[in-house]
Structure formats: structure tokens, C-alpha cells
Amino acid sequence: MADQQKYQEAQKIKSVSDALEAKERSHKNSAFQRSFCLKERNLKAQQTAEKAALIKRIETKRREFEHKRKEDVACMLQRNANILAMIDSKHAAESSEAIRQIELMVKKRIKSISK
């Protein structure tokens, strides 16, 4: 009977210690969960900030590229206009020289025929 009473007392102590252990484990788990959630929230905020910075950098580079491209196109168009003007001028000079040469030849022929 004495042994039975000790077993019952030991059972009560075990129940109390099990309850206390469960309470402590629950407290640790909830603290861990809060800590995990906080770290996860901080990480997501950091990733969001990094993503925004990357997007901003990409947009800036895109604008710079587009601006440079517009400048390059303007330079090429001006170069083409200059080349066309030079070619037109050269053709005009060659044409006027050819006309002058033809006129001289015609005058010489007329002179030789009229003699």
C-alpha cells in the first residue's frame, strides 16, 4: 500500500512536470515562431527594397540608352544629309563642267564648219 501511494505521488509529480514541460515548449515554440516571422518579414522587406532599387537602375539605364540612341540616330541622319549634299554638289559641278566642255566642242565645230 505504501508503494501504491508512492506510485500515485510519482504519477502526480510526473503529470505536473509534463504540464510544465508542455507549457515551456509551447512558450519556446511561440517565441521561435515570432522570431521566425520577424526575420521573414525583414527579409521580404529587404528583398522588396533591393528589387525596387534594381528596377530603378534598369529604368535609368534604359533612359540613358534611349537618349544615346536618339543622339546616334541624329548624328547618322546629319552625316547622311551632309553626304547627300556633297554628292549633289559634286554632280552639279561635274554636270556644269560637262556642259561647258560640250559647249566648247560645239563652238569649235561651228567655227570649223563656218570656215
Q: What is the mean pLDDT of the chain?
A: 91
C-alpha torsion sign, points 9, 15, 19, 25? positive
Average pLDDT over residues 26-36: 85
For residue 17, give the C-alpha cell. 512536470
pLDDT, one tens digit per residue, over 32-88 is: 888 899 999 999 999 999 999 999 999 999 999 999 999 999 999 999 999 999 999
Q: What is the dihedral of CA 86, 88, 90, 92, to 10 degrees?
A: -150
For residue 5, give the C-alpha cell. 501511494
Percent of the chain with pLDDT over 70: 97
The yes-or-no verdict on residue 89 having pLDDT over 90 is: yes
For 24-49, give one letter per residue: b (16+ CB within 10 A) or e: eeeeeeeeeeeeeeeeeeeeeeeeee
